[in-house]
Amino acid sequence: MPVTDVQVIDALRPVNDPEIGKSIVDLGMVKQVVVEGSTVMVTVALTVAGCPLKAEITKRVTEATAALDGVSDVKVDLTVMAPEELEALRAKIGGHSHGADQGGGHSFAQGRGGDAPDISFNRPGSKTRVLAITSGKGGVGKSSVTVNLGVALAKLGKDVALMDADIYGFSIPKMLNADIQPTVLDEEEKIILPIAAHGLRIISAGNFMPDDQAMLWRGPMLHQMLREFLTRVFWGEPDYLLVDMPPGTGDIALSVAQYLPSAEVYVVTTPQAAAQRVAQRSALMARNERIGQPVMGVIENMSWFTGDDGKRYELFGSGGGQSLADDLEVPLLAQLPLVPALREGGDAGLPITVSDPAGEAAQAFDALAKQIEATPPPKPRQVFRPELKIS
C-alpha cells in the first residue's frame, strides 16, 4: 500500500533543524510532500540560502522518509523562506527585541535596564544546567575535556550546547571542525543560530574571527561579546550549556560569574603539583563571597600514559587531582588518560569520543558524563551581581 503524505509528515516530526534544535515540521520548514508511487518528494525551506548545514538537513529528511514502508526513493528539494515566513519563524522560536519572552521561549532582549540582560538560563524554571569548565593555567587540556564531555553527554541523549568563552585563545571550532560563519536568522535583531557539530550546538569567537587576526580587546569588549553570545544566540532550552572558560581568574571569568551566577564549576588540572596549586585559584575565585558559584568537582587530565607493554606511566607525576579535590572538599570526578589520539582528534576536528568510542579515553569521558548526569544540580540562585561590572 502506498505511503501517504500524512505518514511522511509524521515521520519528519522527529527531524530537528540542527541549528535551532526543533522539529522542521513544527518550524514550518516542510513546505510540500508529494507521493508518486514509491517515490516521495519533500520540499524544505531553509532559513537562508547559504545555510551551512543544508547537506545535513537533506540527509536527515532522506533517512527519515526512506525508513517508511513502501518508499523506494526520496527526493529533497531545498528552497528558502520568504521574509514573512522568516518573521513567523522568528516569532515562533521566541525572538523579541525588547522585554522578556512571555511564552516560555528564548528572549533576545538586551536587558531590563542597566547591565542586567535577560538571559534565559537564569530564569526561574530553566531546565538547563550550566557547567563552567575551568582551569588555573593553560595547557592542561581544558578545551579537550569540554568538547569530549559535551559529546559524551550528547551520547546519553541530552541536548547539549557549548559556549567558547576563551575569546583570546578560542579552539573549540577547530576541535569540532566547525570553524564556519553562523547563520544570522534576523539581520535587524541579529538573531544568531549556533553551529551544529557532533551532536553539539556551539558558538565561539572563532566563528567570527579569522585565525590570522589577533584579538586586541580590553575587558569591556570581552564582556560585551559574552553578553551577545548569551542574549543573541538562539540556544533554545538545552539540558546542558557547557562553558569553555579561559585559564585564570581575569575579566572573562568575572563576566561569566556575573552573567551565569548559578553555573556549576568543574576544575581541570594535571597530576603535577604545580598545576594543582594554580588550578586551585580558579576554584577559590568561584567560591569567593562576591561570586558564590558551586564547585562541583575536580577532573584530572593526562593522568597516565599506557604503553605498548600495557603498563601505565605517570608522565606528569601523580596525586595532584586528588590533592586538589581534598583541599576543596569536593570529589575527584575523573582521571583521564593521556592518549595521542585525543590530541590528533582535536587537530582533525574529530573528538575521540566520536572516533574511538570504545577506547580507554572515550570510556573515561562516558563515565564522567554519567556521573555528572546522576548528580543532582545545586539549588539555582537567581542572582545578578552588579558589583562585578567591568568598566
- The DSSP annotation for 45-110 comes to EESSTT-TTHHHHHHHHHHHHHTSTT--EEEEEEEE--HHHHHHHHHHHT--SSS--SSSS-----
Q: pLDDT value at position 219?
A: 66
Cell output for 86: 522568516
Q: pLDDT value at position 292?
A: 78
Bridge-partner residues for 80, per DSSP?
Answer: 46
Whole-number average pLDDT of the chain: 85
Instruction: For residue 242, give the nearest of 204, 210, 186 by alpha carbon.
Output: 204
Q: pLDDT value at position 278?
A: 76
Domains present along the chain, CATH in parentheses = 5-88 (3.30.300.130), 120-388 (3.40.50.300)
Bridge-partner residues for 305, per DSSP?
Answer: 313
The ranges of the chain with pLDDT < 70 are 94-116, 186-189, 211-219, 249, 289, 380-391
Q: pLDDT value at position 184?
A: 82
Instruction: For residue 29, give the nearest of 85, 96, 113 by alpha carbon.
Output: 85
DSSP 210: -
How far is 308 from 303, CA to CA, in rounded Å? 17
How far is 335 from 345, CA to CA, in rounded Å? 19
How far is 202 from 173, CA to CA, in rounded Å? 8
Q: How far is CA 111 from the centre of its chain?
A: 23
Element (H, E) at 195: strand 195-197
Q: Is 173 exposed, middle or buried (0-12, 13-18, 19+ CB in 10 A)?
A: buried
